[in-house]
Amino acid sequence: MCGDPTDRRSFLRQVAGAAAGGVAAGLLPSCVGERLRDLPRDEARRRLARLEAETRARFGREVTLSAQEAQPGVVFGYALDLSRCIGCRRCVYACVEENNQSREPQIHWIKVLAMDKRRGIDLVHADAYYNPPAVPEDGRFYVPVQCQQCDNAPCTKVCPVRATWQEPDGIVVVDYDWCIGCRYCMAACPYGARHFNWSEPGLRAAELNPALHYLGNRPRPMGVVEKCTFCIQRTRQGRYPACVEACPVGARKFGNLLDPGSEVRYVIEHKRVLILKEELNTMPKFFYFYGT
Amino acid sequence: MRLLAVLALVSCSTAGETPPWHSPEGPADPDPTLAAMPPATERTEVPPPPFSEGIFPCSQCHSRAPANTKRRELTFHREIVLAHDEGHRWCLDCHDPDDRDKLRLASGERVAFEESFRLCGQCHGDKYRDWRAGVHGRRSGEWSGHKTYLLCAHCHNPHRPGFHPGFRGEGPPGREPVIPMPPPVRPGRR
């Protein structure tokens, strides 16, 4: 029963069956495991190496699994130009490819909402399923929504096992090996930005992006929640997220909020900026702006 | 000013340390904010201008005939529709009459096609500022380091810059109507 620490989920299931309800977390034996971030460095390295080998064997391809930490002095911010977005959904599929989302059943971390220009930003009447022969459509504008990387994130507060938290660079992440799949975080998120793996993710070896991050795009098991991580595997290496590079009209901007010379800071200081559901005090680090 | 520090541009063709908006042989930079820029610390790439195939250098044809500034029906370049403040301008207001491989600023200064943003920036100063800041237009590369910029003409047809809904593939690539990628699957329908 106390073999592989990643078998925690099935272990818990057995414990839940055996024990009558209130098993306090402190009473569980230590072999249940830890979050990667709680492990001593050498042990974390061993677990990473083991996970890497498992992924390599499962997909039959060379992969690299990193757990690169946040750069000091960096808090990531995102800006999206509503006056430019044409609703082409290139970002959606670039994200799927970069972050190894399940193809079948389908998981999209970015949802592009079409809205009526007459109504303005109105989430109630938004249409995510628009499919005209060409975009942009007359009289409509488009609001892509993904994780807003809230500074005051409701999703991390409700997690009963602390499997999701905010990193020092502001990215809200999930430890997929620690998530118990209760989906409280999905209920807490006001932006619909978290997604659940209802069944085993459908990801073929040929589709796998082999540059993996432990807290980001590594293949997920069934029964865990996943979300946008600002492409943690790219941005911690200094690169732009995949959606930024995929956008054909250059509507997506990304950078360090603490650097006064960054593109996001320029946007915040020079443009009309808004955040979604400001009244909830979630303090998103994802800003929408009008570039014209 | 710090803002501008990270925007130093190095053309991929010259690969030097001078940002391309500083003309090497030209007079003092007309834009004081540019002249005051600190030296380039981060490298930025600009792909070559989007010429139609076989059209450049322009001097291969234009060196033969004297410059004709008259507004007229063109016999060559018939595909060019001028819809860009055409009431006030004609070809040689932007193309240099004496060196056809160059463009011409209002000051008379010649600029290379690689620096065409300086020509555009004469009128579109607000967009020029945003572009230099990395906010107007598409960027790829690194948020903190080496970036690839695009020239204005990579997205906008300089002769007919307006984006019209329903336009059909005229002008440079990227102007074709955009077909959206498939919508998400509705929940419950598999």
Query: Quick one: which of A188, A180, A86 has its CA closest to A142?
Result: A86
How far A152 CA lies from chain B's nearest CA (Å)?
A: 24
Mean pLDDT of the A194-213 span: 97
A19 and A94 in a single domain? The answer is no
> In this structure, what token pair is assigned to residue B145?
């380091």
Please determine, for residue B38, whether its predicted confidence score (pLDDT) is greater than 60: no
- Identify whether B101 is part of a domain: yes
Please determine, for residue B112, whether its predicted confidence score (pLDDT) is greater than 50: yes
**What's the rounded Cα separation, in Å, for the pair B76 and A195?**
57
Count chain A–chain B contacts defined by CB atoms under 8 A: 110
The pLDDT assigned to B188 comes to 77
CB nearest to A129's CB, from B166, B183, B190: B183
Q: Residues A71-97: pLDDT tens digits?
A: 999 999 999 999 999 999 999 999 999
Q: Which residues of B touch A250 (CB under 8 A)?
A: 136-139, 150, 155
Mean pLDDT of the B79-99 span: 90
Q: Is B143 on the interface with A (CB under 8 A)?
A: yes
Q: What SS3 class is residue A187?
A: helix
Q: Is B15 on the interface with A (CB under 8 A)?
A: no
> In this structure, what token pair is assigned to residue A165?
């938290």
pTM: 0.82
How far B101 CA lies from chain A's nearest CA (Å)?
A: 29
Please determine, for residue B190, whether its predicted confidence score (pLDDT) is greater than 80: no
**Maximum average pLDDT range among A32-36, A267-271, B33-37, B39-43:** A267-271
The pLDDT assigned to B170 comes to 41
The residue of chain B nearest to residue A135, with distances taken between CA atoms, is B178
Lowest mean pLDDT among A245-249, B35-39, B74-78, B179-183: B35-39
Please determine, for residue A102, whether its predicted confidence score (pLDDT) is greater than 90: yes
Query: Quick one: which of A220, A196, A122 has its CA closest to B187?
Result: A196
Query: Cβ neighbours of residue A235 under 8 Å, at least 6 residues apart?
Result: A76, A171, A241, A254, B143
A203 and A120 in a single domain? The answer is yes
**DSSP track, B129-155:** HHHHTT-SS--EEBSSS-EE---HHHH
CB nearest to B142's CB, from A130, A134, A238: A238
CB nearest to B3's CB, from A93, A128, A260: A260
A24 and A78 in a single domain? The answer is no
**Total tally of structural domains belonging to chain B:** 1
Range of the domain at B84: 1-162
**What's the rounded Cα separation, in Å, for the pair A274 and A121?**
11
Q: Which residues of A touch B136 (CB under 8 A)?
A: 250, 291
Q: Is B136 on the interface with A (CB under 8 A)?
A: yes
Sign of CA dihedral A282, A283, A286, A288: positive
Please determine, for residue A183, whether its predicted confidence score (pLDDT) is greater than 60: yes
Query: Quick one: which of B7, B185, B107 has its CA closest to A104?
Result: B185
Q: Are A130 and B166 an interchain contact pair (Cβ–Cβ within 8 Å)?
A: no
Q: Are B183 and A263 an interchain contact pair (Cβ–Cβ within 8 Å)?
A: no
A29 and A110 in a single domain? The answer is no
Strands A252-256 and A164-166: unpaired
The pLDDT assigned to A121 comes to 93
Please determine, for residue B18, whether its predicted confidence score (pLDDT) is greater than 50: no
The pLDDT assigned to B26 comes to 41
**What's the rounded Cα separation, in Å, for the pair A277 and A283?**
9
Most B CBs within 10 Å, among A137, A237, A249, A288, to test the B interface: A249
A13 and A77 in a single domain? The answer is no
**What's the rounded Cα separation, in Å, for the pair A149 and A172?**
6
Mean pLDDT of the A200-226 span: 97
- Identify whether A59 is part of a domain: no
Query: What CATH number does the domain containing A161 carry?
Result: 3.30.70.20
Instruction: Quote the mean pLDDT of chain A.
Output: 91
A137 and A254 in a single domain? The answer is yes
- Identify whether A191 is part of a domain: yes
CA distances to A103, A113, A116, A128, A188 from A124, in Å = 27, 11, 11, 11, 18
Q: Is A254 on the interface with B (CB under 8 A)?
A: yes
Please state, as a whole number, how many other Cβ atoms lie within 10 Å of the Cβ of residue B139.
24
Range of the domain at A153: 70-292
- Identify whether A38 is part of a domain: no
How far A13 CA lies from chain B's nearest CA (Å)?
A: 28
- Identify whether B181 is part of a domain: no
A218 and A103 in a single domain? The answer is yes
How far A234 CA lies from chain B's nearest CA (Å)?
A: 9
Mean pLDDT of the A237-249 span: 95
A156 and A28 in a single domain? The answer is no
The pLDDT assigned to B156 comes to 86
The pLDDT assigned to B66 comes to 84
Interface of A with B in 221-240 (CB under 8 A): 235, 238-240
A25 and A145 in a single domain? The answer is no
**What's the rounded Cα separation, in Å, for the pair A282 and A289?**
18
Q: Is B189 on the interface with A (CB under 8 A)?
A: no
Angle CA A165–A170–A174, to nearest 5: 30
The pLDDT assigned to A25 comes to 44
- Identify whether A176 is part of a domain: yes
Query: Quick one: which of B30, B32, B4 has its CA closest to B19?
Result: B4
**B111 neighbors B103 (Cβ within 8 angstroms):** yes
A104 and A6 in a single domain? The answer is no
Q: Is A196 on the interface with B (CB under 8 A)?
A: no
Most A CBs within 10 Å, among B129, B143, B163, B190, to test the A interface: B143
**In chain B, % of residues over pLDDT 70:** 68
Q: Which residues pair with A115 in a beta bridge?
A: A141
The pLDDT assigned to A225 comes to 98
Mean pLDDT of the A104-111 span: 96
The residue of chain A nearest to residue B137, with distances taken between CA atoms, is A250
- Identify whether B187 is part of a domain: no
Q: Is A138 on the interface with B (CB under 8 A)?
A: yes
The pLDDT assigned to B80 comes to 86
Q: Are A248 and B180 an interchain contact pair (Cβ–Cβ within 8 Å)?
A: no
CB nearest to A263's CB, from B4, B133, B182: B133
